[in-house]
Amino acid sequence: MKEALLYDKLEKNQVKCRLCRHGCRIRDGKRGICFVRENHGGILYSLVYDKVISANVDPIEKKPLFHVQPGSRSFSIATPGCNFRCSFCQNYTISQMARDVGRIEGEAVAPARLAELAVARKCTSIAYTYTEPTIYYELARDTMAEAKKRGLLNVFVTNGYMTRDMLDDSKGLLDAVNVDLKAFNDHFYKKYCKARRAGVMDTLRYMKQLGIWVEVTTLLIPGLNDNTDEVKAMADFIRRDLGPETPWHVSRFFPNYLETRIPPTDAQALVTARQIGLDAGLSYVYTGNLPWADGEKTVCPGCAHVLIQRSGYTITRNNIKDGRCPKCGHAVEGIGI
């Protein structure tokens, strides 16, 4: 166990966690909503600092981050736990492990060792992913510091429910994020994620203020968040509040976890959502979990020249020269482009 960061001590050995927007008030001997932070005698502990459950090399396109070092390898780690309880979670066996089966599995791997492994495996970034990195922030923070010493980027794949305090604390360490904007109605967030939409929107805006590179992903779930008015409202929010250069990935849902009765997203719904995003003025809108060349390529917002062609997570052609479109000279936004 490791003493947690970002919490306040209260009367009667209670604590208030300031890591995510749930702001759990936790009595002595109890855990927070994420089930991986526990109060012992008025001190809050992380139960997952020494519980690395996944460590893989992934293409950075798998995060998905299409505008961060395209074609690079990202050392991808996770511990069990999540502060959301999404009924359609694709990684529920590890994200909900503590709550669903009452165990927290994983092994102790020192932050310096994680960074060394990333370098040894020819990765140029570390991705904190698969589950919610906010809830293992103590491990992520120490690993991010070790990564920086070795010249690596740090990227979070997150539900965006961390506090501004956490983001302030990670200044200079966190380079890029892919944030799930799961829907654009609060009912969905409350019913399916046990969270609130406004917190995610505030996080997204604040990340942009801090200069973190932001990409957004939305899993389109038939009948739950794929109404065209809602998709348009989401696209308008991204363009207006985050900027037209913010890549948006609209991704295909497949039945999973507690949502096995909903069919996979129809391919045409993804094509339509992408067009809504482009019509709203977003420069880069991609489709995910769908083999379709048009939805995977990066096109120059200046002259429509094809800049990057992809097949799944593989880059089949990259025409960008010195960070610019070779035809019209438009600077392509991102990191390490």
Least distance to ligand SF4, CB of residue 154, Å: 19
**Burial call 36-64: b when 16+ CB within 10 Å, e when fewer:** bbbbeeeebbbbbbbbbbebeebbbbbbb
Q: Smallest distance from the beta carbon of 111 to ligand SF4, in angstroms?
A: 19
Burial class (CB in 10 A: 0-12, 13-18, 19+), 333: middle
Please identify, using beta-carbon distances, which residue of 23 and 42 lies nearer to ligand SF4.
23
Q: How far is the CB of 183 from ligand SF4 (least distance, A)?
A: 20
Instruction: Pick between residue 38 and residue 146 the one whose CB is nearest to ligand SF4.
Output: 38
Q: Exposed, middle or buried: residue 80 (CB in 10 Å: 0-12, 13-18, 19+)?
A: buried
Q: Are 310 and 71 in contact (CB under 8 A)?
A: no
Of the pair 17, 68, the CB lying nearest ligand SF4 is at 17
CB of 176 to ligand SF4, least distance (A): 22
Comparison of 33 and 65: residue with beta carbon closer to ligand SF4: 33
Distance of closest approach, residue 24 Cβ to ligand SF4, in angstroms: 3
When the beta carbons of 20 and 300 are compared against ligand SF4, the nearer one is 20
What sign has the CA pseudo-torsion 3, 9, 15, 21? Answer: negative
Closer to ligand SF4 at the Cβ: 82 or 270?
82
Which residues bind to ligand SF4, rule: CB under 6 A?
Answer: 17, 19-20, 22-24, 32-34, 37, 83, 135
Closest residue to ligand SF4, based on beta-carbon distance: 32
Q: Least distance (Å) from ligand SF4 to the CB of residue 254?
A: 27
- Closest distance to ligand SF4 from the beta carbon of 140 (Å): 12
Of 47 and 177, CB closest to ligand SF4 = 47
